[in-house]
Structures are given as structure tokens and as C-alpha cells.
């Protein structure tokens, strides 16, 4: 590999002391040698500042001051970065080993890319695996149809981000997706897939762990993501480069919006509105909507108040799924970049913040 580009990572932080140190360690433990790290704290009062100060000598910049929300904090940090490649990692999420070096290799191998996204796992508040996020090689039209990629597994080329104009502070939930669309209008995006088995060979493309816990927005305010999905659609309809395509493919776009809305409504315990939204998706694109038929059926049975019957079954199935994932992750190794000498794979079981014990 030729001269290594500077990579800049920003962490927005606000009262997440329970997870912040693991997030910081997951960045600073990366094997990539040309890295700067910035933290934009929103005036935390829970002990976060003490954690940040312990790492201040390893930070390129940090601040703790009131802000208007996540978008302002992230933009504040991104605008102070110097890296050719940039990303942000929320203060409750983790990078997995090799994430930055693998993302750099992907972007350097295709100079036309505006961003690259990998795959991720979800973890609970203790770091135990809950599930795995799998994606396909989606482009602009897929994003317009509300195919969602996992934000902590995204790395951006700074030049394209600057042309796109950073995060729009009008959005509080779908702010990342709206940015991906604007960037995909300017340059191609690409997916780095991970080995489906996780154990057949050292893994490339498994880049992040997204934490689900009671204080996370996608848990405590899930329905807000659904509402903002339609605000993103309204914005897209004002974009000259997108409006004609949306008119020609309106059924497909609306099916994506309604299916995503239904998912978040159901996550928020709103089974009735979720089922209505699934029906709206089904009317417009049956094959696409039926990929979530299990969730639609759960919403239907919930309306009938059959949860005492179906919840134990769903819990057992979920427990088995998590056990299989944990077993695979316990055996998994992560491919090391060529500039790590010796280039021995990492064991995910040894990584900060990840718990794979029984």
C-alpha cells in the first residue's frame, strides 16, 4: 500500500459514561497507524468528562459544551477534522478490530467511491450479541427506497462529504440516511460484504457493533424514525435529481417508506399502526413487504392480544438465534491489514466491549 491517508473519527457524546470508554478504546485500539480522533461532548454531567480527560493526550481535539443535538455535535467535529477519510462513531457503539484499515483498503482500491459500508452486529448493554446486520451492494435508488445501512459501519471520503454539505440539523432520527442519499447523488457507494458463516476464513467487512439499550434513540424513540422517514421522502421530492425517478417508481418508494415505518412502530409497541403501515407497503410492493411477513404477523397477533402465547415462542427462537451467532463469533477471526506486522488475524472474543462467554 502507498502512503496511508489520514483517517479522522468523531464521537458525539452526551451522558453515555456507561459506554463511552469502550467506544474510545475501540477506536484507539485499531491497527491503522495514521488516525486522528475527536470527541464533541454536549455538556455531559454523568462522569463522561472524567473519561474524556483521561484520554485527552490521545485526542486531536475535544470539547464539552451545550449543543442543539446530535447533528450539530457531529458536524462540529467533522468540520475540525483533517483526514481524507472520515467517519463518526456514537458514544455507545463500537468499532470491531480491523474496521478502519479494511475501510481504507476498500476506498483506496476504488478512488471513485464516495463512501463504503460494511456489516455489523447488534449488542446489548453488556456487550452480548443480539443479531447481525446483513446488507447488499445498494446504490442511490436503493437508498431512495429506504434500504437502510448501519451508520457505525460507514466510512466516507471527505471531499464528497464536503460537497454534500454535512448533516442536516433539521433531521434528528434519519439524519444519517438523508446524508447517504446526498452523497450517493455525487459519487458511487459500495458495500464490503462479510463471510456469511463468519468461520470459514478470516473475516473482512464486519466493522461495527451497534448497541441496543433502553437509552438508545432507536429503542426509546423508535417511532420517531418512522415519522422522519416520510419527512425524508418529502425532502427527496423537492430534489430535481430525484423527483422524476420517484414519480416513476412511486409504489416502490412508498413501499419502502411504509415498511420501514412499520418496523419502527412495532419496535415502539404500536402494533395497530404498524399493521396498517405493513398493509400500505403490501398494497404497493407485495414481494418487498412480505420479506417482513413475520413482523406483520406478530403485529396482527398482538392486536388479538395473543402475546402470552406467541411471546414465549418468539423468545425461544431469538435465544437460539443469538446462541448460534455467539458461537460463530467466538470462533471467528478478523483479517488483519497488510501493514500490520505480523499480519495475524484478530480474535473477536478478545475485543473490547464484546462478551462472548456463556
Across the range 35-44, mean pLDDT stands at 97
Among the candidates 205, 220, 235, a domain finishes at 220
Do residues 160 and 293 both lie within one domain? no
| Exposure string over 336-345, b if 16+ CB within 10 A, otherwise e | bbeebeeeeb
Quote the percentage of the chain above a pLDDT of 70.
Answer: 97
Report the C-alpha gap between 49 and 265 in whole angstroms: 35
The region of weakest confidence among 191-205, 247-261, 296-310 is 191-205
Nearest to 150 by CA among 138, 165, 163: 138
pLDDT grade for 58, boundaries at 50, 70 and 90: very high
In a domain, 347, yes or no: no
Report the C-alpha gap between 189 and 117 in whole angstroms: 8
pLDDT grade for 4, boundaries at 50, 70 and 90: very high
Find the domain containing 90 and state its range. 7-220
pLDDT of residue 150: 97
pLDDT at 112 over 70: yes
In a domain, 100, yes or no: yes
pLDDT grade for 338, boundaries at 50, 70 and 90: low
pLDDT of residue 342: 52
pLDDT of residue 1: 43
Do residues 39 and 168 both lie within one domain? yes
Do residues 229 and 190 both lie within one domain? no
Give the chain's domain count. Answer: 2
Retrieve residue 313's grid coordinates: 415462542
Q: What is the pTM of this model?
A: 0.95
Do residues 155 and 183 both lie within one domain? yes
In a domain, 311, yes or no: no
pLDDT at 268 over 80: yes
Report the C-alpha gap between 189 and 183 in whole angstroms: 8
Top-confidence residue, 186 or 201: 186
pLDDT of residue 198: 84
Nearest-5° Cα angle at 209, 190 to 29: 95
Which residues, 6+ apart, have CB-to-CB distance to 354 below 8 Å? 94, 96, 123, 127, 129, 209, 329, 348
Quote the percentage of the chain above a pLDDT of 90.
Answer: 86
In a domain, 109, yes or no: yes
Across the range 87-101, mean pLDDT stands at 96
Average pLDDT, the chain: 94
Classify the C-alpha dihedral 91-92-93-96 as positive or negative: positive
Among the candidates 160, 191, 220, a domain finishes at 220
Dihedral over alpha carbons 339, 343, 349, 354 (to 10 degrees): 0
Measured between alpha carbons, how far is residue 172 from residues 117, 134, 273 in Å? 21, 24, 22
Nearest to 140 by CA among 190, 187, 184: 184
pLDDT grade for 343, boundaries at 50, 70 and 90: low
Do residues 35 and 163 both lie within one domain? yes
pLDDT grade for 334, boundaries at 50, 70 and 90: confident
Do residues 278 and 139 both lie within one domain? no
DSSP string computed for 29-90 = T-S-SSEEEEEEE----SSHHHHHHHTGGG-SEEEE---SSHHHHHHHHHTT---SEEEE--
Across the range 50-55, mean pLDDT stands at 98
Q: Calculate the CA 164 to chain-centre distance.
A: 19
Across the range 107-132, mean pLDDT stands at 96
Retrieve residue 67's grid coordinates: 449543543
In a domain, 205, yes or no: yes
Nearest-5° Cα angle at 173, 138 to 115: 35
pLDDT at 179 over 60: yes
Do residues 208 and 258 both lie within one domain? no
Across the range 5-19, mean pLDDT stands at 97
CATH number at residue 108: 3.90.550.10
Do residues 267 and 212 both lie within one domain? no
In a domain, 344, yes or no: no
Amino acid at each position: 500500500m502507498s502512503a496511508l491517508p489520514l483517517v479522522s473519527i468523531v464521537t458525539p457524546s452526551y451522558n453515555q459514561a456507561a459506554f463511552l470508554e469502550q467506544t474510545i478504546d475501540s477506536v484507539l485500539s485499531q491497527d491503522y497507524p495514521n488516525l486522528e480522533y475527536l470527541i464533541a461532548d454536549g455538556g455531559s454531567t454523568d462522569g463522561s468528562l472524567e473519561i474524556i480527560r483521561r484520554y485527552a493526550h490521545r485526542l486531536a481535539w475535544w470539547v464539552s459544551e451545550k449543543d442543539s443535538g446530535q447533528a450539530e455535535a457531529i458536524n462540529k467535529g467533522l468540520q475540525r477534522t483533517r483526514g481524507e477519510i472520515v467517519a463518526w462513531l456514537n458514544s455507545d457503539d463500537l468499532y470491531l478490530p480491523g474496521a478502519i484499515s479494511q475501510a481504507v483498503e476498500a476506498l483506496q482500491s476504488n478512488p471513485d467511491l464516495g463512501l463504503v459500508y460494511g456489516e455489523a452486529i447488534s449488542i446489548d448493554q453488556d456487550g452480548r450479541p443480539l443479531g447481525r446486520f446483513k446488507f447488499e451492494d445498494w446504490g442511490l435508488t436503493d437508498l431512495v427506497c429506504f434500504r437502510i445501512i448501519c451508520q457505525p459501519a460507514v466510512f466516507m471520503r471527505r471531499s464528497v462529504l464536503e460537497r454534500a454539505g454535512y448533516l442536516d440539523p433539521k433531521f434528528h432520527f434519519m439524519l444519517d440516511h438523508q446524508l447517504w442519499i446526498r452523497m450517493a447523488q455525487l459519487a458511487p457507494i459500495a458495500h464490503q460484504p462479510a463471510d456469511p458463516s463468519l468461520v470459514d476464513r478470516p473475516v473482512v467487512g464486519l466493522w461495527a457493533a451497534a448497541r441496543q439499550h433502553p437509552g438508545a434513540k432507536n429503542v426509546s424513540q423508535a417511532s420517531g424514525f418512522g415519522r422522519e422517514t416520510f419527512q425524508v421522502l418529502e425532502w427527496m421530492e423537492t430534489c430535481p435529481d430525484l423527483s422524476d425517478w420517484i414519480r416513476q417508481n412511486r409504489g416502490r418508494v412508498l413501499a419502502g417508506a411504509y415498511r420501514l415505518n412499520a418496523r419502527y412502530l412495532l419496535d415502539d409497541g404500536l402494533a395497530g399502526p404498524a399493521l396498517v403501515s405493513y398493509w400500505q407497503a403490501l398494497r404497493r410492493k407485495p414481494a418487498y413487504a412480505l420479506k417482513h411477513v413475520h413482523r406483520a404477523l406478530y403485529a396482527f397477533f398482538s392486536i388479538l392480544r395473543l402475546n402470552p402465547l406467541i411471546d414465549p415462542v418468539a423468545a425461544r427462537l431469538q435465544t437460539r438465534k443469538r446462541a448460534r451467532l455467539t458461537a460463530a463469533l467466538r470462533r471467528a477471526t478478523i483479517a488483519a491489514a497488510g501493514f500490520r506486522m505480523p499480519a495475524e488475524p484478530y480474535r473477536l472474543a478478545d475485543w473490547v466491549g464484546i462478551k462472548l462467554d456463556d
